[in-house]
Amino acid sequence: MLMILVFTILTLKKGQLKVLGILKSSAVKKILLSFILILALSTAFSIAPNLSFWGGYFRNSGVYSWLHYFLFFILLVAGFHKKEQWQMAKKFLFAGFLLTLLFGLMQSLDLTFYKDSIWQSSFKRVFSSFGHPGDFALYIIIIIFPFISCVVGGWHNKKQRLAQVL
């Protein structure tokens, strides 16, 4: 909420709001509105609307949380104005991804520093730096395809550059 307040103040000071290029697309607008409509309908027709809106105590996966994740993403993306900023964000994202995968691999090989801890005894599954293996799996699912796309795209571009040189 503090980020929204700061973003609003900075926008009012500048006197202009840069609309993200992707948000100008009618298809993207339809997808975003559909997402918000689905969240609203799932809460309205839920057998526990209060829980659906606020989310559970442990997971906080209600509509309130989802809308904040969405707003946080929009605010983050609105701060990127140059291609170099996107490239740096992508590098940090993929570096974090590789580190969590490495940590997960170390866990699966039992090479961690916290042997015989409560985590090791209660979970026989890999959770890396996440609190639960399911959360780690969701993170992998979200990041793996952009990562593979960039790796394959990078190899393709290197082949094209090499072919031009030869």
Rg (Cα) of the chain, in Å, rounded?
21
Q: Identify the pLDDT of residue 120.
A: 54
Q: Identify the pLDDT of residue 48.
A: 92
Q: Identify the pLDDT of residue 116.
A: 56
Angstrom distance (rounded) from CA 93 to CA 90: 5
Tell me the HSE value of 41 on the side-chain side, using a 13 A CA sphere. Answer: 6
- pLDDT 10s digit of each residue in the chain, 166 long? 888 888 888 778 887 666 666 677 788 789 889 989 999 999 999 999 999 999 887 777 889 988 888 888 878 777 777 788 888 988 999 999 999 999 889 888 878 776 655 555 455 778 888 877 888 998 999 999 989 988 888 877 777 766 676 6
Q: Identify the pLDDT of residue 122.
A: 55
What is the DSSP annotation of 54-100? H--TTT--SHHHHHHHHHHHHHHHHT--SHHHHHHHHHHHHHHHHHH
* pTM confidence score: 0.64
